[in-house]
Amino acid sequence: MNLKDLSIKKLEERGVSLDSMAALALSLQKKYTENLTLEDCKSALEMVLGKREVTYAILTGIAIDQAVEKGLFDVEITNIIKEDNPLYGIDEILALSIVNVYGSIALTNFGYLDKLKPGIIGEVDLMGKNHEGCSTFLDDIVGALVAATVSRIAHNEKT
Amino acid sequence: MNLKDLSIKKLEERGVSLDSMAALALSLQKKYTENLTLEDCKSALEMVLGKREVTYAILTGIAIDQAVEKGLFDVEITNIIKEDNPLYGIDEILALSIVNVYGSIALTNFGYLDKLKPGIIGEVDLMGKNHEGCSTFLDDIVGALVAATVSRIAHNEKT
Amino acid sequence: MNLKDLSIKKLEERGVSLDSMAALALSLQKKYTENLTLEDCKSALEMVLGKREVTYAILTGIAIDQAVEKGLFDVEITNIIKEDNPLYGIDEILALSIVNVYGSIALTNFGYLDKLKPGIIGEVDLMGKNHEGCSTFLDDIVGALVAATVSRIAHNEKT
Amino acid sequence: MNLKDLSIKKLEERGVSLDSMAALALSLQKKYTENLTLEDCKSALEMVLGKREVTYAILTGIAIDQAVEKGLFDVEITNIIKEDNPLYGIDEILALSIVNVYGSIALTNFGYLDKLKPGIIGEVDLMGKNHEGCSTFLDDIVGALVAATVSRIAHNEKT
């Protein structure tokens, strides 16, 4: 299985579908791009997921979340990550490896999504807060994927 | 005049008071920090403004805006900056030199502020859009200063 | 004239040829990529220069250097930029808008080039230090362009 | 045990002493800061290690390296991290959470160290390449700690 398909499979196993991310990208960008459809957003998202560095960030972040869930790390770092303290910051940094590649439109959308946690991002975040699993890294990764998708659409629109 | 006082003077000349930035920081952070006052925010903002690299970003950004207003740059780059196209991106990058120093809480607040442009940030942005002057760099700098202030307060709170 | 051609013209006016940058990229990457030629490096550099955000950074940085040379900014910020103090940092930040798009290989090569200043980067840097003009932003931009070129070659090689 | 002491303990368990990092910082900065001693470098390094976000990066990076060693992650991501491919990039990104806080002097020193791998960084890197363990994240963290230390010294010197 290639890295893109593996990443999509992992995201779906953690409750994050391509449609839920595309829907969020659509809601953010539709007022700027005329006649934007869910299909457009989904195909932009698939382009984002085709980048190797993007898949590395997804697979690493999910691996950390799963290791924390299963108690595989030392207890001190497990507790820090599980708590998802806003001062932890490593989850946002890892997501930046996705965001940086897509420039400043991606960056501001990422900040916005991370602060308001709309749609699927809020669902993923709650999953962690309700202790149904650890989603410390996943919510930031999903925010980064949506932000990168929005930026990709905005750049194509304006070129 | 030291760099901090010079930066405050320049900001005020461009219509940005410490109070207006402190008020925005307060509105963002009051639900997280109990009993937070405008004075607390103003004093955190003054600490941010005491950092040399922060003043360098302020003075450089305002110098660029002013050069564009006065037509001192070549016409091609003048037009690009004046237009404040969301794809320009150099204004956000310059503001990141302030934001980066204050970690991921600053980063997400910066993205949020840049997207929604509440309070003084919207006023500065409009000033540019209404062609009363160029504020391409200033609105991002103000957003970065407010985001850095919020992060400073959040970190002190939690330590 | 499009942004790419304009950027190349401006770089050449400031003494920086495509060949001098391609030669530096070649010297950095030849031990990793078999049979790499100057032509390969030049064509990778041209791809880098074809990105809009890259041209924005080039045109903005050169505009600042020129404004400083001509004394168009206020005296305080003029002196800070002219001095090219290692603590100024805004020049590196602006160059990062080029580097970030090309991932971590670009970033480490940028740091390396900025520290050692080989080839054309050293020539540009000296031009500033000898007060034949201001090249505070230009040396970092040239470093970023070479670093981005190297990263582009490395990624194609490995894909 | 507080986060600073825990981080120092973890670094030492992985073969990285404070002295080896201080020695590298000294070799990088002694030509810029007169009369700089190993003790000065060690005390600057200890200040860096006193920052919460720095300890989070150290503990997370070492936890990932150890999980890879023990085969606790899924096989695909384990193989990617173990290989320490220059295109992986997540290790550099995590280290940037340390570097960013210390500005552009830290950034250029980090790039330089990551490229040349002098002293303890090369030893850590070799440990991974010789399959005596996984040090994919550790070598970048050590580079970031040394780069941050150098930047701290440079800033104090110049203030």
- Whether A87 and D53 lie within 8 Å, measured CB to CB: yes
What pLDDT is recorded for position B78?
Answer: 95
Q: How far apart are CA C69 and CA C58, in angstroms?
A: 17
Q: Is A103 on the interface with B (CB under 8 A)?
A: yes
Please determine, for residue C8, whether its predicted confidence score (pLDDT) is greater than 90. Answer: yes
Q: Is B97 on the interface with C (CB under 8 A)?
A: yes
- Whether B89 and A104 lie within 8 Å, measured CB to CB: yes
Query: Which chain D residues are within 8 Å of B104, Cβ to Cβ?
Result: 97
Query: Which chain D residues are within 8 Å of C112, Cβ to Cβ?
Result: 111-112, 114-116
Q: What is the mean pLDDT of residues C126-141?
A: 89
> Of D140, C132, C153, which is closest to residue C145 (Cα–Cα)?
C153
Question: For residue B89, what is the nearest residue in chain A, using CA coordinates?
Answer: A104
What pLDDT is recorded for position C36?
Answer: 96
Confidence label for A157 from pLDDT (cuts 50, 70 and 90): low
Query: Which chain A residues are within 8 Å of C104, Cβ to Cβ?
Result: 97
Question: For residue D57, what is the nearest residue in chain A, using CA coordinates?
Answer: A90
Number of Cβ atoms within 10 Å of the Cβ of B27: 14
Please determine, for residue D138, whether its predicted confidence score (pLDDT) is greater than 70. Answer: yes
Indicate the residue of D87, D115, D155 with minimum beta-carbon distance to C108: D115
Indicate the residue of D101, D103, D159 with minimum beta-carbon distance to B103: D101
Query: Which chain B residues are within 8 Å of C53, Cβ to Cβ?
Result: 87, 89
Identify from B6, B55, B76 which residue to disrupt to test chain C contact, counting C C-beta atoms within 10 A and taking the largest count.
Answer: B76
Question: For residue D84, what is the nearest residue in chain A, using CA coordinates?
Answer: A56
Q: Is A71 on the interface with B (CB under 8 A)?
A: no
Q: How confident is the model over B86-144, as pLDDT tens digits?
A: 789 999 999 999 998 888 889 999 999 999 999 999 999 998 888 789 999 999 999 99
* CB-defined contacts C:D, below 8 A: 69
Q: Is B105 on the interface with A (CB under 8 A)?
A: yes
Q: Is C75 on the interface with B (CB under 8 A)?
A: no
Which stretches of chain A are DSSP H helices?
A: 3-13, 18-29, 38-49, 52-69, 75-83, 90-99, 103-116, 119-129, 136-158
Q: Is C101 on the interface with A (CB under 8 A)?
A: yes
Q: What is the mean pLDDT of residues C118-131?
A: 89
Q: Is B100 on the interface with D (CB under 8 A)?
A: yes
Instruction: Name A58's Cβ contacts closer than 8 Å, sequence gap at least 6.
Output: A7, A10, A11, A49, A141, A145
Q: How far apart are CA C135 and CA C129, in angstroms?
A: 8
What pLDDT is recorded for position C157?
Answer: 62
Ramachandran category for residue C17: left, alpha or beta (phi over 0 → left; psi -120 to 50 → alpha): beta
Q: Is A69 exposed, middle or buried (0-12, 13-18, 19+ CB in 10 A)?
A: middle
- Whether C108 and D104 lie within 8 Å, measured CB to CB: no
Q: What share of chain D is helix, strand, coil (3-state, %, to 5)?
A: 75, 0, 25
Indicate the residue of D86, D108, D154 with minimum beta-carbon distance to C115: D108
Please determine, for residue C138, whether its predicted confidence score (pLDDT) is greater than 90. Answer: yes
Which residue in the block uniquely carries the two structure tokens 């700690």? Answer: D145
Query: Which chain A residues are within 8 Å of D6, Cβ to Cβ?
Result: 76
What pLDDT is recorded for position B65?
Answer: 97
Q: How confident is the model over A5-19, as pLDDT tens digits?
A: 999 999 999 999 999
Q: What is the DSSP letter of D51?
A: S
Which residue in the block uniquely carries the two structure tokens 């090309």? Answer: C102
Q: What is the mean pLDDT of residues A39-50?
A: 97
What pLDDT is recorded for position B157?
Answer: 62
Q: How far apart are CA B42 and CA D34, in angstroms?
A: 38
Report percent pLDDT > 70 for chain B: 98
Instruction: Name A150's Cβ contacts closer than 8 Å, sequence gap at least 6.
Output: A25, A28, A29, A105, A106, A109
Please determine, for residue D158, whether its predicted confidence score (pLDDT) is greater than 60. Answer: no
Q: How far apart are CA B100 and CA D102, in angstroms?
A: 9
| pTM: predicted TM-score of the whole model, two decimal places | 0.92
Ramachandran category for residue C131: left, alpha or beta (phi over 0 → left; psi -120 to 50 → alpha): left
Confidence label for C87 from pLDDT (cuts 50, 70 and 90): confident
Q: How confident is the model over B111-124, as pLDDT tens digits?
A: 999 999 999 999 99
- Cα of first residue to Cα of last residue in chain D, in angstroms, is 34
- Cα of first residue to Cα of last residue in chain A, in angstroms, is 34
Q: What is the mean pLDDT of residues D60-70?
A: 97
Q: How far apart are CA D47 and CA D41, in angstroms?
A: 10
Q: What is the mean pLDDT of residues D123-139?
A: 89
Q: How confident is the model over C44-59, as pLDDT tens digits?
A: 999 999 999 999 999 9
Query: Which chain B residues are within 8 Å of A116, Cβ to Cβ?
Result: 112
Number of Cβ atoms within 10 Å of the Cβ of C78: 18
Q: What is the mean pLDDT of residues A31-35?
A: 92
Question: For residue C32, what is the nearest residue in chain D, using CA coordinates?
Answer: D86
More confident residue, C20 or C129: C20
Mean pLDDT of chain D: 93
What pLDDT is recorded for position A132?
Answer: 80
Confidence label for D159 from pLDDT (cuts 50, 70 and 90): very low
Confidence label for B159 from pLDDT (cuts 50, 70 and 90): very low
Please determine, for residue A32, whether its predicted confidence score (pLDDT) is greater than 60. Answer: yes
Number of Cβ atoms within 10 Å of the Cβ of C122: 15
Angle at C141 between CA C63 and CA A95, to 5 degrees: 115
Q: How confident is the model over C90-104, as pLDDT tens digits?
A: 999 999 999 988 988
Q: What is the mean pLDDT of residues C10-24?
A: 97
- Whether D53 and B103 lie within 8 Å, measured CB to CB: yes
Angstroms from B135 CA to nearest CA on chain C: 15
Q: How confident is the model over A105-135, as pLDDT tens digits?
A: 899 999 999 999 999 999 999 988 787 899 9
Q: Is C36 on the interface with B (CB under 8 A)?
A: no
Q: What is the mean pLDDT of residues D60-65?
A: 98
